[in-house]
Chain A
Amino acid sequence: GAVVSQHPSRVICKSGTSVKIECRSLDFQATTMFWYRQFPKQSLMLMATSNEGSKATYEQGVEKDKFLINHASLTLSTLTVTSAHPEDSSFYICSARDLRRGLDNEQFFGPGTRLTVL
């Protein structure tokens, strides 16, 4: 239980294009999802908190116009990297909370999306 999927798992795009990453909770409803990015040999850096039916809350220093988040349903959140540049290349990971099981602070993570911008 508490399975989170991400699609695509890997994407390569040209500089200037936009890329959409999907995060789905497969066997539970997630009112809150989180988007992280992780650089090689570093820990997870929270980018934003995505709440179903409302605007995302972005962490300091994260450009909301560049990283568009849409949480359209209780099982789906999307992150769109707009006008991607090579410095946006990273490992993007989403997570979700399932308040019906476990504890409030537990998050269940997707497998991640490796974005490479050429």
Chain B
Amino acid sequence: TQLLEQSPQFLSIQEGENLTVYCNSSSVFSSLQWYRQEPGEGPVLLVTVVTGGEVKKLKRLTFQFGDARKDSSLHITAAQPGDTGLYLCAGAAGNNRLAFGKGNQVVVIP
């Protein structure tokens, strides 16, 4: 059973459009991280959300942590080709480990 479910798995949009991807779980997390990974590279940490209901912005990316700290969303405004990548959410899984979702593959078409 996947601890974190990410949806949609794959999303292709035109440059300039908005998109939202989701990370859901039945478990409560003390924090959730979002990473972006490009082909052939390691994941890069984008943001950590800690407080239920918290909203964090990183330029055109808006991250929200659910009130119950079980889910999170990532909204991209006016997507650019540079936003293309695999977006991974991760939460604490005990013993200092992180559990990763399967990722949201986002493709922004110029």
A-to-B contact residues, CB < 8 Å: 4, 6, 32, 34, 41-44, 46, 49, 57, 91, 93, 95, 97, 102-112, 114
Contact = CB atoms under 8 A, between A and B. Distances in A.
Interface residues of B, number: 25
19 contacts: A34-B97, A34-B98, A41-B105, A43-B101, A44-B43, A49-B95, A57-B95, A104-B96, A105-B31, A105-B33, A106-B33, A107-B98, A108-B45, A109-B42, A110-B42, A111-B42, A112-B41, A112-B42, A114-B40
A100 to B, nearest CB: 15
Contacts, number: 61
Interface of B: 30-31, 33, 35, 40-45, 48, 50, 88, 90-92, 95-98, 100-103, 105
Contacts of B44: 109
A37 to B, nearest CB: 12
